[in-house]
Amino acid sequence: MKISIKRKFIIGFLLIFYIGYNTMSFFMNKLIVENNKDIIKKELLTFEKDLTTYLRQYFELKNKDMDSNNFNNSSNDIASNLSIKVGSRIMIYSCEGKFLTDSANANGQVLNYEDIDNKQNYSDEDLKLSIDNKSAFTIVPIKDKYLVVFSCPIINNNKNIGIVRSVMDYSEIFSSSKKLLKLTNTFVLLVFGVIFLFVVLLATKITIPILKLSKVTKEVAKGNFEEDITINSKDEIEELSLDFNKMKNKIKNQIETIKNDRDDLKKIAGHRKVFFDNMTHEMKTPLTIISGYSQILLKQDFNDKEFARKSVKKINDESERMHNMIIELLEISKVESKITSDTKEDVNISQIIDVACNDMKIRADKYEIHIEKNVDKEVTVLGNPNELRRVIINIIDNAIKYGYINSTVNVKLFKEHSNCNIIVKDEGHGIPSDKLEMIFEPFYRVAKQTSRETGSSGLGLSIVKKIIDKHNGDIKIISEESIGTEVHITIPLKVYNIVTSC
């Protein structure tokens, strides 16, 4: 069974209160009774002294010896006189404890204590002790009154001559101590009440944040990390809630990282599969052609020289194609490996573009394509010069490959903000807009026949993208079918540290 913290607090407090209150009441009662007994004892000692003095004087006045005989004979007189003198009921007993007289009968009642006659209300213990020469008293509570029955042996010449027993009213002293006890109890109840209220408030203050914490923990267990705990108690609980939020957000981030990593791994695995599928397919095509032509040539009865020449050319072309493809695959592997990425140096892009345009001129002339340059001087980036050269050559080569005969290829280089921008624009077939997003995938070719050369493998742009990414740059292709293509490349410029000295 689940018991809430608040309930535990309240039950615990009530238990402490019950035990504490009862123990305190018990001891307070005992203390008050003992205190009252001490007061009564002191008063009775004085009474005992006065009584002995009175009896001595009484027998002297009567000229009688103070012995048991005379005491017994004068018991009526002594009882009534004493009763009037002290204002209490007086009973006289012989030294053996035999009842002799009672002021209530002898003298008319001074006080109506009929209840005292009811033996059930008190014991004769005090009387028995007085027979043994000891004075003693018994407290007798009757209705709302407290009566004290005091037995006092009358000793003369070390001899007990009789016993005087008086009944005195001590209600007042007991009722005032009762009042004090009541007042103390009320005060204690009040204090406990305030403490109880405090305990309830404290328990609520502690349990509310715990409940909030437990609710959010359950949500976290379900995988919901959105809700934060907000507690403004300015104490350890607020600290705990802040730490909990931090921990929750950390777990959320970790889970997101794991999810992203998993998705990335899945993507990589998918890409790898597509890559290998494409690669085997691309390798298979030239191999099938080579194998087909070789088989024909190997036939012994084959003697068509013209066909043989064409077949050898085809075998040579396909071998070339495969060779280029392998070189490009090696390039991809090189770019992806970390070996080259660490070797970064100042690269003068302006120079690279100038040289590349010159190198490509012969190729462009072949198709009557004019290369137009618009290049800013001394544009420097930090990177790998070989890789960046490969990017420029690849883009200009594509512009020539896919540009119309007798057209212009425009090459631009300029600085903008903290970047260097390279734009290569051609006038050619262009790329359909729905194919643009696939253009950087390895082995992807829009249409095999659009390339005027057999060497096209579909790996060039994929290598270019990898190199640009490695240089923290960006590549974008804008194209319009039958009009032409624009390749925009952005690479961060080299940052120069300005050192000032005083």
Nearer to ligand ADP, 101 or 457 (CB): 457
CB of 281 to ligand ADP, least distance (A): 14
Nearer to ligand ADP, 77 or 481 (CB): 481
CB of 497 to ligand ADP, least distance (A): 37
Residue 129 CB-half CA count within 13 A: 14
CB of 366 to ligand ADP, least distance (A): 16
Nearer to ligand ADP, 71 or 402 (CB): 402
CB of 466 to ligand ADP, least distance (A): 11
Alpha helix positions (H), 223-304: 236-298
Give the three-class secondary structure for 367: coil
Given a contact cutoff of 8 angstroms between Cβ atoms, the answer to whether 151 and 92 are in contact is no
Residue 440: partners with Cβ closer than 8 Å, 6 or more residues away: 461, 462, 464, 465, 475
Residues 489, 491: Cα–Cα separation, whole Å: 7
Query: Tokens standing for 114?
Result: 């009929």
Nearer to ligand ADP, 212 or 334 (CB): 334
Cα angle 131, 135, 140 (rounded to 5 degrees) comes to: 100
- C-alpha distance from residue 404 to each of 36, 185, 432, 436 (Å): 127, 110, 16, 20
Binding site for ligand ADP (CB under 6 A): 398-399, 401-402, 426, 428-431, 439, 444-446, 450-451, 456-462, 485
Q: Are strands 345-348 and 380-383 parallel, antiparallel or unpaired?
A: antiparallel
CB of 436 to ligand ADP, least distance (A): 9
CB of 386 to ligand ADP, least distance (A): 18
CB of 384 to ligand ADP, least distance (A): 19
Cα angle 309, 451, 356 (rounded to 5 degrees) comes to: 105
Nearer to ligand ADP, 212 or 470 (CB): 470
The helix (run of H) or strand (run of E) holding residue 55 is helix 5-61
Nearer to ligand ADP, 445 or 471 (CB): 445
3-state secondary structure 104-139: HHHCCCCCCCHHHHCHHHCCCHHHHHHHCCCCEEEE
Nearer to ligand ADP, 170 or 440 (CB): 440
Secondary-structure breakdown of the chain: helix, strand, coil percentages, each rounded to the nearest 5: 60, 20, 25
Nearer to ligand ADP, 401 or 494 (CB): 401
CB of 471 to ligand ADP, least distance (A): 18
The number of helices, as runs of H, and strands, as runs of E, in the chain is: 13, 12
Nearer to ligand ADP, 98 or 452 (CB): 452
CB of 470 to ligand ADP, least distance (A): 17
Nearer to ligand ADP, 383 or 428 (CB): 428
**Region for residue 16 given its phi and psi (left: phi exceeds 0; alpha: psi -120 to 50; beta: otherwise):** alpha
Name the residue whose CB lies closest to ligand ADP.
460
- C-alpha distance from residue 208 to each of 3, 220, 226 (Å): 15, 18, 20
Strand partners, 43: none
Q: What is the DSSP letter of 452?
A: S
| Amino acid of residue 119 | K
Q: What is the DSSP letter of 353?
A: H
Nearer to ligand ADP, 79 or 446 (CB): 446
CB of 474 to ligand ADP, least distance (A): 17
CB of 352 to ligand ADP, least distance (A): 18
Residue found under tokens 């080579």: 290
